[in-house]
Copies of this chain bind each other. A is one copy, B any other.
Amino acid sequence: MAVYTEVSDEALTAFLAGYGIGTPLSFKGIAEGVENTNFFLHTTAGSYILTLYEKRVNEGDLPFFLNLMEHLCARGLACPQPIRRRDGEALGRLCGRPAVIVSFLEGVSVKRPGLHHCTELGRALAGLHAAGADFPMVRANGLSVEAWGPLFAQAEAQADSVAPGLAARTRADLAVLQAGWPQGLPGGVIHADLFTDNVFFIGDALSGLIDFYFACTDAFAYDLAICLNAWCFDAEGAFHRDRGEALIAGYQAVRRLEPAEVAALPILCRGAALRFMLTRLVDWLNVPPGALVQPKDPLEYDRRLTFHRGATRAEDYGWTD
């Protein structure tokens, strides 16, 4: 949510010379993206987002993300399309950072999703899983169950300073999840970060998905579990079963869950909550001095975990046969 790198008009003009997208009409840093610097760029040819990848993004992963967006666009999914330069490359360098221009996507994200939004999201998520089916590249999920132990180790000693008992609760969750994490579920490309800010609507219709910088190869149902966490709890931390129902029904209208996925849904939801609690906890305990971004509250996900510990059946999340 910040502009980490300033781009001068001269640097912009020089960068744009490599593209066939006209000359700049407007260029404004936007408060979007926690990891990168993003600019709204309007040229004589259209509207774009120019992204500079800051330190936290691994440059080696960029071809996966960019090729994936291009692949999904080609399959008709509404997501940002990387713009290739005259030399055929999508990835460039600007102000010493890897940089890319993607098409601008209209739409507004919703803060408090209604049932209709959840249904639309479910459909789009299944559409994404289908569109990615023949994407040839693979990227392991670096924030799945194997990563949670090492993440927790970074935060364990200080966890109780954030909330009393957090260390013990997390230790117990971790043991349960490591012992029972499902293997061999249907999978492929997942978004892995489909929070409300990454989903745009125009009126009632979903208009696009953005921010593919956590996308990876993992179980489809885990992506659904992330969405159940991100979309179906309210600000007070209560789960809304009707939203879960709408989300799962929307998903199943496009792609039916297999019995193994249905059975795994509760543990996947619990795991997804632990994943976000842990990364937020580590960020919370390591705010660099002069940080431009407010860290997100890990306890939001600690509260969701309370719900997940008591939810043992897919029905508890709104699945219906």
Contacts and interface: CB of A to CB of B under 8 A. Distances in A.
A30 B29 CA distance: 6
Size category of the binding interface on chain A: 20 to 34
A34 interface: no
A67 interface: no
Contacts of A32: 28-29
Contacts of A106: 25-26, 42
Contacts of A30: 28-31, 40
Interface stretch (A77-85, A88-96, A108-116, A256-264): A108-116
B31 A108 contact: no
Contacts of A40: 28, 30, 40
A26 B28 CA distance: 14
Contacts of A1: 3, 29
B29 A108 contact: no
A26 B103 CA distance: 14
Contact of A8 (B9, B12, B111): B111
A202 B25 contact: yes
Contact of A3 (B25, B28, B31, B201): B31
A23 interface: yes
A107 interface: yes
Contacts of A26: 104, 106-108
A110 B12 CA distance: 11
19 contacts: A2-B2, A2-B31, A3-B31, A9-B111, A10-B111, A10-B112, A12-B108, A24-B108, A25-B106, A25-B108, A26-B107, A27-B108, A28-B30, A28-B31, A28-B40, A29-B30, A29-B32, A30-B40, A292-B292
